[in-house]
Amino acid sequence: MKKRTLIWLMVLLAITLSLSACEQQPPEEIEVPEEVVTEDYNPEDSLPLRLAIIRPTQLNPLFNANDTLYQLYHLVYESLVAFDENMDLVPQLAESWELDDSGSRVTFNLRQDVTWHDGELFKPEDVVFSFQVLRNHINAIEYPNLYTTNLQQVSDVRKTGDSSVTFTFTRPYSNALETLVFPILPQHLFESTDDVLLTSNDFPIIGTGRYQLEDYDASREMTLRYYASYWGRKPYIDEINISLVPDREAQISMFENGEIDLVEPMAVDWLKYTDNEQVKGISFSSSHYEFIGLNFRDELWQQKEVRQAIDRAIAKEDIIDTIYFGHGTATNVPVHPISWLYRQPEATEEEIEADETVETIEGIQLPEEREFVLLTNSENPLRVKTAETIVPMLEEVGLKVRIEAIEWDEMQDRLMTGDFDMVLTGWHFSLIPDLSFAFHSTQEEMGNFIGYSSEELDILLETAFFAPNREEKEMAWHGIQNYLEEELPYISLFYKEKAVLYRTTLRGELSPTQYNIFNGIETAYLIKPQESVSEKAEEE
C-alpha cells in the first residue's frame, strides 16, 4: 500500500476520536422527594413517561450534535443496523446483509413491513437519499460525529432490488457496517423542497421508530406517542412527555424535584442519588478510556521493562474504587472488555505472581536526580486526584515524578509539540473501532502524540483496517491486543462507567448502553405513586 494513501485513510479515521477533557465537578448533596408506591399495577395501564432534553438547535438527526436529542431520537428514527451491548451490530431496518468476498461491497435486505409515521412505505430510495444528504452536507453538521466517519470510503450506493440496497467501498474496509449506522430519513418529504428544509426549524420529525411526534413547542416541550403501525414489539408506554431545558443542570434539577422519571447523571458519584429508596440506577460501560502516555522520544520509555514496571506499580482497581466510586473497568489495553473484538487473556501462574508484587527498575540507568513531569488537565478534578494517587506508586519503582496540572488548551499544545515526559489523559473512543490514529507511525502529527513507531504494529493495524470479513477482523484485533498487552505503548488504566437514574415508579427491564440509553424501552411501564401515609392521615 502506498504511504500517501494510508496517510489519507488515517486522517479520515482521526476525526472519529477525540482526546477527552471530561471535566467533572464534585456533585452537590441533593434531596429526592420520597414517594410510597403501590404494588397493585397492570403494565397495560402505564402512565406517560416524563423526560427532559437540552433544547435543540438542530432537529435533523443526521446533523444533530445534542447528545440528549441524539438519545431521544432512538425512539423516533432507526438505522439499517444498530449497536448492541457488545458494540457488535444487530439488524434494525435491514433484516440481513451480505458482505462480498472482497470485503468492499455490502448489500442490505430491507424489512418490507415498515412504514413512516405518515403512513408511507419505507423504501430503498430512503436509504440512498439519507446517505447522499450526509455526504453532500458535511458542512451543516454541528460536529463530525459517528454518522460522518469515513463517508469518503463509500464509492457508490444504489437500490439493487425492490427491498435491497448496496454500498460499494473504495477498497476492502473492515468497518463498513459500523460506518453505515445512521438514521434514515423519508425521501418523499424532501423531494419537492430545496435543501433549506434539511436545516430548518420546520424540519419534519418523521421516522420509522416506535414513537412518533405528536406535538412540538420549540421553546417548551415535545410529546411522543406510540406509532400503532410500528413493525416491532408494542410498548406498554403509550405517551412520552419531554420538557425542553437549557442545560444538564436544569435536567438534573427536574429529576431531583420529581418532575421527570429518568435522567443520565453528570456526576461520577451517582450512587448518592439513590440514597432515597425511591430512586434506582443502572450503570453501563462507556468508551471513555483513561491512560498514561509516555513520550517515546525519550530513550528511557523505549525500554519495555520500564513500561512494564510502571504498569504493575499502578493499583488500577484502587483508583477506580476510591476516586471513581467503583464506576469503572480496569484494563491493560485500549480495547474495551465488553467489545466483541476483545480477547480475554489467559492468566498464567507467572502473570498472577506479577500482579501480587511490584517490580522495581533496578539495573536501569536512570539519569541522576531526574524528576519526571506528569501532565494532566487542571479542569478535571478527578483526573488530578488520579495523578496524585499514581505519583507515590511510581516512586515505589524508582521514578521521581512531579504533577503539573495545566489548562486543557495548553496541555494540547505541549503534547503536539512533544514538550512532555508523561501525561495522564483520556480518549473518548468512537463506536467505530480503530487505533491507527493513536499508534500508527504515520500519525505523529495527529493522534500519535507519544511518537510511537513500530513496523509490526503498523502491519497489525492495517490488517485490521482492511480485513474483508468479520471473522478476519476479529482475528486481526486479537493480534493487536496481544501486541499492546506485551509492548504497552500506553499505560492503560480503566474505562469509565456511566449510568441512568430512574424513579421506582418506572418498572421493566431497561438495559441502557452508551449507544442507546433507552434500550429495552418496550418492556418499561410506569405505575402511580401511592399517597403517603401522612397525607392519608390528614385526610382522615
> pLDDT digit string (tens) for 87-103?
999 999 999 999 999 99
Q: Are residues 439 and 299 in the same domain?
A: yes
Q: DSSP E strands: which ranges in 64-173?
A: 81-83, 89-91, 94-99, 105-110, 154-161, 164-169
Statement: the pTM of the whole predicted model exceeds 0.75? yes
**Is the separation of the CB atoms in 289 and 427 below 8 Å?**
yes
Let me know if residue 11 belongs to a domain: no
Q: With H, G, I as helix, E, B as strand and everything else as coil, classify residue 106.
A: strand
187/61 Cα distance (integer angstroms): 14
Is it the case that residue 55 has pLDDT exceeding 70?
yes
Lowest mean pLDDT among 10-19, 20-29, 285-294, 312-321: 10-19
- In this structure, what CATH number is given to the domain that contains residue 519? 3.40.190.10
Q: Which of the two residues, 361 and 391, has the higher pLDDT score?
A: 391
Structural domain boundaries enclosing 110: 57-199
Q: Are residues 251 and 306 in the same domain?
A: no
Grid coordinates of 152: 469518503
243/261 Cα distance (integer angstroms): 12
Which amino acid, one-letter code, is at 410? Answer: E
Q: Are residues 89 and 70 in the same domain?
A: yes
Q: With H, G, I as helix, E, B as strand and everything else as coil, classify residue 206.
A: coil
Lowest mean pLDDT among 39-48, 157-166, 289-298: 39-48
- In this structure, what CATH number is given to the domain that contains residue 335? 3.10.105.10
> pLDDT digit string (tens) for 467-496?
999 999 999 999 999 999 999 999 999 999
Q: Which residue, among 181, 151, 230, 216, has the nearest Cα to 61 in the 3D structure? A: 181
The number of folded domains in the chain is 3
Q: Are residues 76 and 181 in the same domain?
A: yes
Q: With H, G, I as helix, E, B as strand and everything else as coil, classify residue 219.
A: coil
Lowest mean pLDDT among 320-324, 379-383, 398-402, 434-438: 398-402
418/450 Cα distance (integer angstroms): 7
Q: Residue 54's pLDDT band (boundaries 50, 70, 90)?
A: very high
Give the per-residue SS3 of 350-387.
HHHHHHHCCCCCCCCCCCCCCEEEEEEECCCHHHHHHH
Q: Which residue, among 404, 434, 431, has the nearest Cα to 419 in the 3D structure? A: 404
Q: What angle do CA 368, 303, 452 make, to 5 degrees?
A: 115
Q: Are residues 154 and 175 in the same domain?
A: yes
Q: Are residues 232 and 360 in the same domain?
A: no
Q: Are residues 525 and 431 in the same domain?
A: no
Q: Are residues 301 and 222 in the same domain?
A: no
Phi/psi of residue 58, nearest 5 degrees? -140, 120
Q: Residue 348's pLDDT band (boundaries 50, 70, 90)?
A: low
Phi/psi of residue 341, nearest 5 degrees? -85, -10
DSSP secondary-structure letter at 233?
P
Helix 316-323 × helix 381-395 angle, to 10°: 140
